[in-house]
């Protein structure tokens, strides 16, 4: 599943390609995604000009005139592809997929522009599209996802309030989108490594120093991943065809039984399952 850095890269790719472009036609080939695509979808978007593309948490937002919006969530296997009208056999994968080939049976939505098309492909159909007709409705939709991991609201005071007397472990807190949105499994393990925190440590046992580190290194890891173009686990590529490189800098993720990379640490990276999610940590320096 794409996490916040990968969705940010997809958003930036879309910004460069479709901002100020007019949607000439929309085709829906399968309405049965995570939530059914509503019947008015095609008419709502036809002839709309995309004024801006933004991201909130793991959602991409297309902005139109008169406070109209379309929210896109990629789910686990959703991908966006740009198809050149002059060369339809060539495609650019803006997202995650195990192959460069675009299997047409999983093409569910297509946005047509004057010179190219944007295709949404999703084998498992866990992604979705949602139409929004006002700024109030947009703000209401995202209210449960505040704060995002990169928001100023994700700070020491917030953590002190939310973690007080809580028995849930810190790894599960970081993955809880109602606690902080945008952090997925890969980056949770990396963040906790930099924080020198055991993923099983309970919220109520975290001190002020621990919490400051969580805020600091959440920002550090996610921003660094964005700068590196995301993590290429399944051939992630942006609009320029460039792959993400952050996976080359993983400190713990997928490094089971390897030596810890921290200077002067003799620990070994261990793998455990927390709520059926693979979790990696150093058995020596993460306390």
- The catalytic residue positions are 2-3, 58, 277
Please answer whether residues 196 and 209 qualify as being in contact, where contact means their C-beta atoms are separated by less than 8 angstroms: no
Distance CA 241, CA 243 (A): 7
Per 3-state DSSP, the chain is made up of helix, strand and coil in percentages (nearest 5) of: 30, 25, 45
Q: In what order do the strands lie in the sheet with 52-56?
A: 52-56, 59-63, 69-73, 128-132
E strand segments, 18-77: 25-28, 52-56, 59-63, 69-73
Q: What is the chain's alpha carbon radius of gyration, rounded to the nearest angstrom?
A: 20
Distance CA 147, CA 264 (A): 36
């Amino acid at each position: 599943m794409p996490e916040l850095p990968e969705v940010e890269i997809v958003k930036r790719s879309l910004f460069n390609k479709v901002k100020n472009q007019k949607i000439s036609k929309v085709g829906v080939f399968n309405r049965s995604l995570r939530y059914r695509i509503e019947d008015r979808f095609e008419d709502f978007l036809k002839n709309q000009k995309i004024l801006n593309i933004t991201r909130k948490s793991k959602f991409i937002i297309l902005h139109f005139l008169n406070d109209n919006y379309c929210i896109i969530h990629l789910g686990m296997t959703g991908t966006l592809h740009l198809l050149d009208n002059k060369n339809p056999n060539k495609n650019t994968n803006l997202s995650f997929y195990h192959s460069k080939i675009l299997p047409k049976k999983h093409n569910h939505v297509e946005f047509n522009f004057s010179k190219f098309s944007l295709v949404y492909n999703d084998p498992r159909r866990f992604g979705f599209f949602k139409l929004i007709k006002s700024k109030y409705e947009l703000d209401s939709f995202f209210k449960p996802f505040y704060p995002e991991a990169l928001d100023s609201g994700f700070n020491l005071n917030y953590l002190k309030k939310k973690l007080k007397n809580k028995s849930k472990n810190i790894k599960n807190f970081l993955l809880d989108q109602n606690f902080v949105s945008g952090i997925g499994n890969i980056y949770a393990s990396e963040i906790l490594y930099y924080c020198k925190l055991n993923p099983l440590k309970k919220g109520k046992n975290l001190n002020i120093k621990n919490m400051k580190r969580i805020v600091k290194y959440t920002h550090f890891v996610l921003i660094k991943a964005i700068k590196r173009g995301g993590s290429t686990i399944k051939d992630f590529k942006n609009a320029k065809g460039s792959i993400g490189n952050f996976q080359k800098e993983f400190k713990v993720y997928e490094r089971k039984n390897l030596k810890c990379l921290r200077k002067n640490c003799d620990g070994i990276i261990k793998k455990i399952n927390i709520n059926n999610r693979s979790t990696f940590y150093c058995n020596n320096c993460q306390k």
